[in-house]
């Protein structure tokens, strides 16, 4: 591969920036809050820059959104979130509830 000065420059800029931006540990907190409230302009710019150079945090955000969307559409399909480990009312609880309702 020929010497690619452009790629090298990009690489250098990314590391220079990453050293000056909030860390991943700080950024994941902001990513989580971005799902709860609207971020300030400053927070948004710092987040965008961080995501531009950090694939890991890009994936982190993508995964949080994937988890949210998956859970919500599952809940729509199946609100009791029935799990393969079939939890049911125990016979004892069933009887107790029936008694409390006045059924024999």
Partner 1 sequence: MSEVQVKAQTTPDPGIWVDQHGDYLFKYALFRLRDATAAEDVVQETFLAALKGYEKFEGRGSERTWLVGILKHKITDHFRRMSREAPIGEQSDDGPEHREFFRAEGEEWTGHWALDHAPTDWHASPAELVEQSDFFRVFNDCLSPLPQRTASAFTLREIDGLSSEEICDTLSISVNNLWVMLHRARLHLRNCLERNWFKREPR
Binding site for partner 1 (CB under 8 A): 18, 23-26, 28-29, 32-33, 35-37, 54, 56-57, 59-60, 62-64, 66-75, 77, 79-85, 87-90, 93-94, 96-98, 100-104
**Token pair belonging to 97:** 């509830």
**Smallest separation (angstroms) from partner 1 to the CB of 30:** 10
Which residue is listed with tokens 């004892």? Answer: 92
User: Residue 24 or residue 46: which is nearer to partner 1 going by CB?
Assistant: 24
**Smallest separation (angstroms) from partner 1 to the CB of 37:** 8
**Smallest separation (angstroms) from partner 1 to the CB of 51:** 12
Distance from C-alpha of 32 to C-alpha of 12, rounded to nearest angstrom: 29
**Smallest separation (angstroms) from partner 1 to the CB of 27:** 9
Distance from C-alpha of 15 to C-alpha of 9, rounded to nearest angstrom: 10
Residue count of the chain: 104
User: Residue 12 or residue 68: which is nearer to partner 1 going by CB?
Assistant: 68
CB atoms within 10 A of CB 39: 15
Q: Which residues contact 104 (CB under 8 A, 6 or more apart)?
A: 98
């Amino acid at each position: 591969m020929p010497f690619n000065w452009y790629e090298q420059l990009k690489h250098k800029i990314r590391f220079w920036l990453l050293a000056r931006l909030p860390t991943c540990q700080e950024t994941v907190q902001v990513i989580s809050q971005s799902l709860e409230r609207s971020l300030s302009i400053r927070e948004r710019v710092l987040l965008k820059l961080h995501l531009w150079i950090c694939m890991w945090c890009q994936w982190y955000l993508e995964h949080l959104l994937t988890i949210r969307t998956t859970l919500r559409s599952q809940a729509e399909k199946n609100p009791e979130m029935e799990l393969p480990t079939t939890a049911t009312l125990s016979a004892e609880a069933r009887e107790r509830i029936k008694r409390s309702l006045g059924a024999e």
